[in-house]
């Protein structure tokens, strides 16, 4: 469903070339709940960005739902992100002027979903992430955990192929982090949505049903565990 084949990513940093990914291959199936782990600088973010189509690989191939990403133009990539991918960012990244409801509905506005349907889906997902009654609050009126719930709702509302979350709990205290992870596990179970998240936190890794370890731009282990 998502296949990453021998992907390399190099950054030029002045005179030196940084090999962020040195030939990574990975295949992710529908409904997986996978954690990309590894020390700082190991290439987690880079890999997520490549899968998320917001960056392009130096070499190798990535395909999403059988569609190769490499040859796509800017607008096609935007369309893929819009329709197939959901993002949860470390620092929530909600639109500050919009309410919780509007932030979630924003995803659907971009896909051109009719208003009535968008409204209904948004209300339902907000309910599911436990924000019923807070839909009219703006990000500044929500706690960090609540904001991240909105972000999860925003990612899920369009029913994407995969939700990509780069260290989704790094900005949260551990209790709230647990709650968000619980939420993601729950959503994965309920909607069979694929989740790929990165972390270097052991507590977070424990939630994963598949743990892929990166080191220095290479996969050093990739193990599946039963819940």
Partner 1 sequence: MKFLVRLATKNLWRYGRRTLITAAAIALGLATYVLLDSMLVGADEESVRNLIWYETGSARVMHPDYWAERERAPLRHVIEDPDSVLDALRSQDVAATPRTTFSGELIVWRDPFPEDGSLLVHVTAIDPETDGRVYRFDQWITEGRPLQAGEPGVVLGSWLAEDLGAEVGYPLIISARSRYGARVTIDAEVVGILNSPNPVINRGGIFLPLDIADLYLDMEGAVTQIDLRFADYARVEGPIAELKQLPALRDLEIADWRLLGADYIAMMEADSVGSGIILFLVFVIAAVGVSNTMLMTIFERTREIGMMRALGMDDRAIRNLFLIEAAGIGLIGAAAGILLGALGNIPMVRVGIDYSAMFRTMDAGYRSTGVLYGAWVPSTFVIAALMGVALAVIVALVPTRRALRMDIPRALSRQ
Q: What part of residues 21-50 is at the interface with ligand ATP (CB under 6 A)? A: 38, 40-46
Least Cβ distance, residue 86 to partner 1 (angstroms) = 9
Least distance from partner 1 to the Cβ atom of residue 43, Å? 13
**DSSP letter string, the chain:** -EEEEEEEEEEEETTEEEEEEEEEEEEE-TT-EEEEE-STTSSHHHHHHHHTTSS--SEEEEEETTEESTT--HHHHHHHHHHHEEEE-TT----TTS-HHHHHHHHHHHHT--HHHHHHHHHHHHHHTT-TT-TT--GGGS-HHHHHHHHHHHHHTT--SEEEEESTTTTS-HHHHHHHHHHHHHHHHHH--EEEEEE--HHHHTT-SEEEEEETTEEEEEEE---
Q: Does 109 bind partner 1 (CB under 8 A)?
A: yes
* C-beta closer to ligand ATP: residue 18 or 95: 18
- When binding is defined by CB under 8 A, the residue of 78, 179, 185, 205 that contacts partner 1 is 78
Q: Which of 5, 10, 22, 55 binds partner 1 (CB under 8 A)?
A: 55
121-160 binders of partner 1 (CB under 8 A): 154
Give the residue with the Cβ less far from Mg ion, 45 or 103. 45
- Beta carbons of 166 and 89 less than 8 angstroms apart: yes
- Pick from 1, 72, 98, 179: which binds partner 1 (CB under 8 A)? 98
Please tell me the number of Cα atoms within 13 Å of 58 on its side-chain side. 14
Min CB(4)–partner 1 separation in Å:
17
CA-closest candidate to residue 210, choices 227, 186, 188: 227
Judged by CB under 8 A, does residue 168 bind partner 1?
Answer: no
Binding to partner 1 by residue 85, rule CB under 8 A?
yes
11 near ligand ATP, rule: CB under 6 A? yes
Q: How far is the CB of 41 from Mg ion (least distance, A)?
A: 8
Cβ proximity to Mg ion: between 48 and 183 the closer is 48
Residue 87 binds which entry of partner 1, Mg ion, ligand ATP, none, CB below 5-8 Å type-dependent: partner 1
Q: Which residues of 114-131 are buried (b: 16+ CB within 10 A; e: fewer)?
A: eeeebeebbbebbebbeb
Binding site for partner 1 (CB under 8 A): 45, 49, 52, 54-55, 74-75, 78-83, 85, 87, 89, 93, 95-98, 106-107, 109-111, 154
Binding site for ligand ATP (CB under 6 A): 11, 13, 18, 20, 38, 40-46, 200
């Amino acid at each position: 469903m998502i296949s990453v084949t021998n992907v390399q990513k190099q950054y030029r940093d002045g005179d030196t070339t940084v090999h962020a990914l040195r030939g990574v291959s990975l295949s992710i199936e529908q409904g997986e709940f996978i954690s990309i782990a590894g020390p700082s600088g190991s290439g987690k973010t880079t890999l997520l960005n490549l899968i998320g189509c917001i960056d392009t690989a130096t070499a190798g191939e990535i395909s999403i739902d059988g569609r190769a990403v490499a040859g796509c133009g800017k607008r096609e990539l935007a369309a893929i992100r819009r329709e197939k991918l959901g993002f949860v960012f470390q620092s929530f990244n909600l639109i500050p002027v919009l309410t919780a409801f509007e932030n979630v509905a924003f995803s659907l506005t971009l896909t051109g979903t009719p208003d009535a349907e968008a409204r209904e889906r948004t209300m339902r997902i907000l309910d599911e992430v436990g924000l019923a009654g807070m839909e009219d609050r703006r990000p500044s009126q929500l706690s960090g955990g609540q904001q991240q719930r909105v972000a999860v709702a925003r990612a899920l509302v369009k029913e994407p192929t995969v939700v990509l979350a780069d260290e989704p709990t790094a900005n949260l205290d551990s209790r709230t982090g647990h709650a968000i992870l619980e939420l993601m596990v729950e959503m994965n179970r309920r909607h069979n949505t694929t989740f790929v998240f990165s972390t270097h936190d052991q507590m977070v890794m424990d939630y994963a049903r598949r743990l892929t370890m990166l080191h220095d731009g290479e996969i050093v282990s990739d193990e599946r565990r039963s819940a």
